[in-house]
Amino acid sequence: MVKYIHKKYAKEENMFKILVVEDDKDLNKIVCSVLNQNGYEAYGCLNATDGYDALYENMFDLIISDIMMPDIDGFEFAKNIRAINENIPILFMTARDDIASKQRGFRIGVDDYMVKPIDFDELVLRIGALMRRAKIASSRKLEIGSFTMDADEFSVTLNGEEIQLTTREFNILYKLLSYPKKTFTRTQLMDEFWDADTETAPRAVDVYMTKLRTKLSECDFFEIVTVHGLGYKAVVK
């Protein structure tokens, strides 16, 4: 594992730690340097095996990974990470710009996807957004304008008035709003919110989205957007 820590930030205790898994040594070093200069503590690894070791030895807040790497590619790496940690944000940073790779990444559970060459200013912005979403997801309460979802009380209110949602409707909406602008495929939603042995077709997700849109028709703070060929995402207005 290659560790790059900008000395300006090396003594801060509450920095977010980011793992960068990228086999291009020069790009790895540049990304880590950019992150360190923006207040993060970046650890660079040149392959997935070293990435596993780093995760075993340290607590990270976010992972950046390439896809095309020797031995273990980014897809397998991300899939294995998701099997043990459902919440840590994962961002793919790759030269693969085809829709099939993007679909596969999102289905595995990747939170964001950037295509090389990387705009480093945009990378920093995306990381900041992912960190905010992760914080919201862990807080168990969502507030968007006068719309509130409380996962502990299982309640939904708009302008102080309660909106009745079923358990599955609540869970789907909470998931979407916890990660605004992130696309969830129908398969992802089926895997998470339907029983494994269910024979319900993925199009059942469409039915629930229609129900949610109807019940939330008076809410102007966000919308549920259909991403054709993939699934759905929530967009805050």
State the average pLDDT over residues 204-217.
95
Q: What is the pTM of this model?
A: 0.57
How high is the pLDDT of residue 134? 79
pLDDT of residue 161: 95
Which pLDDT belongs to residue 1?
A: 46
Phi first, then psi, for residue 55 (nearest 5°) are: -70, -30
Q: Give the pLDDT score at 103.
A: 94
Q: Tell me: the pLDDT tens digits for 6-22?
A: 333 333 434 788 999 99
Strands 112-115 and 62-65: unpaired
Q: What distance in Å separates the CA atoms of residue 148 and residue 33, rounded to the nearest whole number?
A: 39
pLDDT tens-digit profile of 56-76? 888 888 999 999 998 999 999
**Which residues lie below 8 Å from residue 183, measured CB to CB, with a gap of 6+?**
106, 227, 230, 231, 232, 233
Structure tokens at 176: 């979407």
- Cβ atoms within 10 Å, residue 14: 4
Predicted confidence (pLDDT) per residue in 127-137, tens digit? 998 988 777 56
Alpha-carbon gap, residue 131 to 110, rounded angstroms: 14
Which domains does the chain possess? Answer: 2-136 (3.40.50.2300), 140-236 (1.10.10.10)
The two tokens of residue 32 are 């880590």
